[in-house]
Amino acid sequence: MPWVGWKLAVNMAKAAVVVKKEGVNMKICITSEGKTLDSKVDSRFGRCQNFIFFNTDTGNFEAQENANLQFQGGAGIQSGQLMVSKGVKAVLTGNIGPNAHQVLSAAGISIFTEVSGTVKEAIDGYKNGKYKPADAPSVSSKFGMPGKSI
Amino acid sequence: MIISIASGKGGTGKTTVAVNLALSLKNIQLLDCDVEEPNAHLFIKPYIKDKVGASIPVPEVDEAKCTHCGKCRDVCAYHAIAVVPGDSSNKGSVLIFTHLCHGCGACSLLCPRGAIKEVSKKIGIIEMGEKGNMQFVQGRLNIGETMSPPLIRQVKNYINPTKTVIIDAPPGTSCPVITAVKGSDFCVLVTEPTPFGLNDLILAVEVLRKLQIPFGVVINRSDIGDGKVEDYCRQGYIPVLMKIPFSREIAVSYSRGTPIVEKDLSYRNKFINLYLGICGAKNEANSRH
């Protein structure tokens, strides 16, 4: 019987998702070296220093340190998972590997690579339609490992 | 007795020592556990009698039973699972990255809906053969696979306790090396007298001390470089069991796939002495405990 209540909760959550989609709260994520909008965009996705979650409608943002940075494997997968859990609709970063690309694509999250400059510049660029969506990974696995980044 | 041959740094001469030691002794079983690039067979040239596939269990999700609760992702220690919950436009999915999976089984055990079953995934092969009265076993990891420890463990299942077992380990100090040397009675660390050799030797020594495996050092190309490896061994009371000179003769014979003990018989005695040194160092280490 507990499943009935649980299913109800799922349906309510699903309904909430629909409202969110149709509403105005559009969340994007920018990989960042620091925790402010003046920080530089981190060229790595899975192993970036920080994620900045930015609401394109309210202009509010939240910075979160990347706990997946230390993983020996699976950093891209779990960073992709974080985007899914946070309800992000678009990711702006320098490069993305094959595993992260697969997770984001499965969740229908748009991916924009070759983004550089400050986080603020990246957001402006995104709003002005400067970036093209990346339909393939831009680097191979382990790109962001220490000693392997550009 | 199980003797493993390891080194922190690659290219120091593990296979040279393993092969020549094996050929100098009687009643030997040689295991090539450097499964990413097994090359002892190039020198031993064994007759391969049998091949078996090696596989690991990886999860497969029954999407009809899955509720995308995310438990499997949370318990996966290797970060190999992502769960995308469904919404009005997307029915949701579980993404499993099998090349990161160690086959531990936690996800299938802990799935609350029993939606995960384990299926076999081929990761390589194990080949068994012989040369004279030497038994030979090697693992060969499939190209593109990264998960060598499960294959190394499966190669070690063939250990023959009635023989003196020599394990040619992979280089480094991470999981594959630990898997290969675990359970050895003694480990020979092959190094070279260079700053790189010393740096990686120190790391390997730390690993073996933690695993509580007695060990000694063989210095290859001993007449080049500097004396810092020997200083380090002296200060740490680490026995230097053998020194192999930097010799053109050894290099030429190696490049032709001829073990040096078959070319220069005086080396046979040197490797028998290495074995005696191993026995002595092992007994001394055991008497200290």
Chain A hits for B86, CB-CB cut-off 8 Å, are 14
d(Cα B67, Cα A60) in Å, to the nearest integer? 33
Provide, for chain A, the percentages of residues in helix, strand and coil under a 3-state DSSP scheme, each rounded to the nearest 5: 35, 20, 45
Q: Which residues of A touch B89 (CB under 8 A)?
A: 108
In this prediction, residue B237 carries a pLDDT of 95
Q: From edge to edge, which strands make up the β-sheet containing B28-32?
A: B47-61, B116-131, B134-141, B28-32, B164-168, B2-6, B186-191, B215-220, B240-244
- CATH 3.30.70.20 boundaries in chain B: 57-121
Residue ranges of A 65-84 with Cβ closer than 8 A to chain B = 68, 71, 73-75, 77-78, 80-81, 84
Touching check for A103 and chain B: CB below 8 Å?
A: yes
Phi, psi of B41 (to 5 degrees): -65, -25
Q: What's the token pair of residue B235? A: 């200060």
Phi, psi torsion values for B138, nearest 5 degrees: -140, 150
Q: What is the mean pLDDT of chain A?
A: 85
Contact B242, B270 (CB under 8 A): yes
Cβ contact A17–B90 (<8 Å): no
Taking residue B155's Cβ as centre, other Cβ atoms within 10 Å add up to 27
Using a CB-CB cut-off of 8 Å, the residues of chain A touching B93 are 106
Tens-place pLDDT, residues B107-135: 999 999 999 999 999 999 999 999 999 99
Question: What's the pLDDT score for residue A21?
Answer: 43
pLDDT at B222: 96
pLDDT of residue A103: 96
Interchain contact, B79 vs A73, CB within 8 Å: yes
More confident residue, B85 or B186: B186
- Chain A contact for B98, CB < 8 A? no
Confidence of residue A9 (pLDDT cuts 50, 70, 90): low
What CA–CA distance (Å, rounded) separates B257 from B23? 14
Question: How far lies A60's CA from each of A20, A32, A39, A64, A111, in Å?
Answer: 16, 16, 16, 14, 21
Rg (alpha carbons) of chain A, rounded to whole number? 16
- Taking CA–CA distances from A79, the nearest residue in chain B reads B82
- B168 — pLDDT class (breaks 50, 70, 90): very high
Q: How close B145 gets to chain A, by Cα (Å)? A: 13
Distance from CA of A141 to the nearest CA of B (A): 11
Q: Is the pLDDT of residue A13 over 70?
A: no
Average pLDDT, chain B: 95
pLDDT for B25 beyond 50: yes
Residue B239: Cβ-neighbour burial (10 angstroms; 0-12, 13-18, 19+): middle
What is the location of CATH 3.40.50.300 in chain B?
A: 2-55+123-288
pLDDT > 50? residue A17: no
Instruction: Please report the pLDDT score of residue A135 as a whole number.
Output: 84
| pLDDT tier, A3 (very low <50, low <70, confident <90, very high otherwise) | low
- Mapping DSSP to helix (H, G, I), strand (E, B) and coil, where does residue A95 land? coil
Q: Residues A110-125, buried b or exposed e (16+ Cβ, 10 A)?
A: bbbbebeebbbbbbeb
Across the interface, whether the CB atoms of B100 and A74 are under 8 A apart is answered yes
Whether B91 and chain A come into contact, CB under 8 Å, resolves to no
Nearest CA in chain B to A107: B84
Tell me: pLDDT of A14 over 90.
no
Q: Does A107 touch chain B (CB under 8 A)?
A: yes
Residue B53, strand partner residues? B125
Q: What is the pTM of this model?
A: 0.77
Query: In the Cβ-directed half-sphere of B85, how many Cα atoms lie within 13 Å?
Result: 17
Q: Is there a contact between A18 and B87 if contact means CB atoms under 8 Å apart? A: yes
Dist CA B107 CA B76 (whole Å)? 7
| Contact indicator for B218, B193 with CB cutoff of 8 Å | no
Provide the token pair at A72. 């020996």
Nearest to B96 by CA among B143, B111, A111: B111
A99, A101, A104: which to substitute to probe chain B, counting the most B Cβ within 10 Å?
A: A99
* Chain A with chain B: Cβ pairs closer than 8 A: 52
The arithmetic mean of pLDDT across residues A41-47, rounded, is: 96
Does B115 contact A at CB distance below 8 Å? no
* Rg, chain B, Cα only: 22
CATH 3.30.70.890 fits B2-55+123-288, yes or no: no
Instruction: Point out the residue among A18, A78, A106 whose CB comes nearest to the CB of B84.
Output: A106
Contact of A52 with A62, CB cutoff 8 Å? yes
Contacts of B198 (CB under 8 A, 6+ apart): B191, B228, B229, B232
The distance of A69 to chain B (nearest Cα, Å) reads 12
Describe the crossing of helices A98-106 and A75-86 by its angle, rounded to 10 degrees. Answer: 20
Amino acid at B176: P
Does residue A19 carry a pLDDT above 60?
Answer: no
Record: contact B82-A10, CB cut-off 8 A:
no
Asked if B87's CB is within 8 angstroms of A17's CB, the reply is yes
Tell me the two tokens of residue B160.
Answer: 């023959």
Classify B147 as helix, strand or coil.
coil
Give the tens place of pLDDT for each residue, B226-275. Answer: 999 999 999 999 999 999 999 999 999 999 999 999 999 999 999 999 99
Reported as a pLDDT band with limits 50, 70 and 90, residue A51 is very high
- Structural domains of chain A, ranges and CATH numbers in brackets: 25-150 (3.30.420.130)
Write down the CATH number for the domain with range B57-121.
3.30.70.20
Q: How far apart are CA A62 and CA A96, in angstroms?
A: 22
pLDDT in tens, B83-102: 999 877 778 899 999 989 98
